[in-house]
Structure 1
Amino acid sequence: MVSSPHEAMHRIFQEYPGLFSRVSEVLGVSVPTPTSATVLPTDLTENSPVERRVDTLLRIETQDEGPFLLAVEAQGKKDPRKATSWPYYVSYLHNRYGGLPVLLLVVCQDHATAQWAARPLTIGLRQWPTLTLTPLVAGPHNMPVITNVAEARKDLALATLAAITHADNPDVGAILKTLSAALREAPEDIADPIVELTAQGLGDRPAAQQWRNLVAVDTSFYTSFMSEEIRDEGRDEGRAEGRAEGRAQGRADGLLLILEARGITLTDELRQKITTCTDPELLHRWLHRAATATTTEEVFAERH
């Protein structure tokens, strides 16, 4: 099953398509200056029984060298199957999009996986390789450790990705404290997705609770389902109904945001189903499914 850190490591590029230009600078790779980026469909399935999906796919427009495709893969552990799937992704995309250059970026959260992902993948004979794929890898080995608030505030998207990739860093507490402080005066429409992506990227690590506590203190304006749960703790029972309504509203908003980011189209009926739902627990289940679902049926299916 796809984990929440997996989703955060690639979905951040959907939320902030321009982030790659800063990541490439950090990784020491010279790419043309982007002018715009478009999120493309991630389904690479052909008319065959095998389904293949890249995590995130962007079309990057540049000033001087024309467009290129950026395929982002979030990798939580070593997986020998990638030796065949990643070259397929790149060659398929190159063919499907009329010969556009394709760059594969792999985002990791541990050194061993990052080192493994960075190895060139070769198809062909030892003495005559037919195809060699060299992924670009971002992880704790090369992403910056940002503990300066001014630096984090200068580029919140990069600071968020850096925090996610350093989720297992012994100093993650200082990294998260810096990020939360940088969000104190940020508008809600900027802070909201960053808070959610960071929480998602931390998964079930101990640092996730620390992030929840920091959000409650540093971004008291935040009204997502996560912070609504935080603020609900310790309130008297007489306000239980109001708390439930607040959680339901926050979770409904969060669900719509996630579905939109994942490119899952909603009918008017389903959108109304979400916005009128008053059951926080049901909305919570839908939210968890939405993190990995590819269709509305997977999100709203009744399970017994």
Structure 2
Amino acid sequence: MVTIDENVARWAATPIPLGHPGFCLTALVLGPNEIPRILDVAQAQQTPELAVLGVMAHGKDEEPERAVEMAKAALIACHDLPDDRALPYSELVLLSLNQAAKIILEKLMASGQFEYQSDFARKHRGEGEAIGVAKGEARAILSVLEARKVHVPDEVRQRILACTDHTVLERWIRRAVTLASTDELFCDT
């Protein structure tokens, strides 16, 4: 049995008498005391699952800086894993940190000092940035129309906000400056 809870580990390790004299079942238990804290990236890369398990077992109880070091090692170790394992492991790492460590790690990641290691993370970070830009362009269109006092029906507002194609959004921004009604916004698209 593997558990990150010390009480569960003690309970599971309790011998179970089987009714025959001298026969007792004692489960093999791997609890938090047996799970290492992996801070070294090279070691984490050799056993990424163990690095993630270490964060799960100790991430909430450690000093924030040490928890962040374990989390960084585990996240970097996920670099070479297939996406179907890297994403859930990364989620487990982030969910396993105490609040102070989460804040430090999020600031580090936002500062640009944390180098995203995997193509997966870079791809999804880039997609997130592109979606953010698209949302900004959509809000700009709505702001221009509002400033010009052009009525924007709800379905038009929803269509504008749902669009993520930068070429289309740029065309709509240019049109929003001169159009008389929102019907002109979508012609030729």
Q: TM-score, with normalisation over the residues of structure 1?
A: 0.33
> 1 or 2, which has the higher strand percentage?
1
Higher alpha-carbon Rg: 2
> 1 or 2, which has the higher helix percentage?
2
Q: TM-score, with normalisation over the residues of structure 2?
A: 0.49
